[in-house]
Amino acid sequence: MLIRKETPDDIDRIGFVIEAAFKTARVSSGTEAQIVERLRAADALMLSLVAEQDGTIVGHLAVSATVIGDEENWALIGPVAVLPEVQLQGIGSALMNEALQQLRTAGMAGVALVGNPAYYGRFGFRAWPGLNFPGVPDEVVLALPFADSMPSGELSHHEAFGLDA
């Protein structure tokens, strides 16, 4: 398996992978592929990684900038997508580990996401007192600081997520 940054030739396949992955997901807005398209169009993807097996893209992970309270230099991971037929084979973990390494190397203060604590806990993510995301239960608003301090406040997101009223 190869983890690499997306190229323009990957865009259609990335959309397919995201749609297929979230079609069977327990929790989905149904707009995950469009979110990535809007982030890309707004030049708001800090990082866009693909997992390739035998020359075919089977997974994708998107990263955009976020602010927690008034603390900048944080990254927001999501969506993360793996084709259903190759899930549970370590592809999502490989994407996540590569993203975390690249974000640490880039000097980010930390990473946040909204997701399953049982899954993302293996990478060091956890819920933090005072960290919230409007309309989302606090227990699934997770963060991984790369330093000793963790800011509190609302986790922001790019308008491409389409969550603003």
Give residue limits of the domains in the chain. 2-161
Packed helices 32-41 and 11-23: angle between N→C axes, nearest 10 degrees: 150
Look up residue 62 and give its two tokens.
């998107």
**pLDDT-based confidence at residue 78 (cuts at 50, 70, 90):** confident
pLDDT tens digits, 27-61: 556 567 788 888 898 888 999 999 999 999 999 99
**pLDDT given at position 31:** 67
* Strand duo 153-154 + 131-132: pairing: parallel
**pLDDT given at position 28:** 54
Helix, strand, coil percentages in the chain from 3-state DSSP, rounded to 5: 35, 35, 30
**pLDDT given at position 157:** 73
pLDDT tens digits, 109-141: 999 998 889 999 999 999 999 998 888 889 999
Given a cut of 90, is residue 99 above it in pLDDT? yes
**pLDDT given at position 112:** 94
Query: How far apart are the C-alpha atoms of 37 and 54, rounded to whole Å?
Result: 25
Given a cut of 70, is residue 66 above it in pLDDT? yes
Given a cut of 70, is residue 25 above it in pLDDT? no
Q: What is the CATH topology of the domain spanning 2-161?
A: Aminopeptidase (3.40.630)
pTM here? Answer: 0.90
